[in-house]
């Protein structure tokens, strides 16, 4: 069984980055770790207009994108 890490929608920061999606892994643990690491990196390194978090569903980990709170 393969596990997938993907992005809900690709904002400009993701499109400009070196990240490519979807990513496929052979274990749930590796996919979950990668998804969480990527979301954390995106929150730390990108423009701060968006917030990234991981949604887990069956064999897919989706990095969700939402507008960041202006006071964050």
In a domain, 72, yes or no: no
Instruction: Note down pLDDT in tens along the chain; length 72 residues.
Output: 899 999 998 888 888 998 999 999 999 999 999 999 999 999 999 988 889 999 999 999 999 999 866 554
Total domains present in the chain: 1
Structure tokens at 68: 């960041």
Q: Structure pTM? A: 0.87
Q: What integer pLDDT is reported at residue 71 of this predicted model?
A: 56
Domain range enclosing 49 = 3-67
Q: What integer pLDDT is reported at residue 67 of this predicted model?
A: 81
CB distance 15 to 22 below 8 Å:
no
Q: What integer pLDDT is reported at residue 11 of this predicted model?
A: 85
**Bridge partners, residue 57, by sequence:** 60
Q: What integer pLDDT is reported at residue 70 of this predicted model?
A: 59
């Amino acid at each position: 069984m393969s596990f997938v890490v993907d992005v809900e929608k690709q904002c400009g920061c993701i499109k400009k980055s070196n990240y490519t999606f979807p990513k496929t892994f052979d274990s749930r643990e590796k996919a979950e770790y990668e998804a969480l690491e990527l979301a954390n990196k995106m929150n730390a390194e990108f423009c701060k207009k968006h917030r990234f978090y991981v949604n887990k569903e069956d064999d897919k980990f989706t990095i969700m994108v939402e507008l960041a709170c202006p006071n964050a």
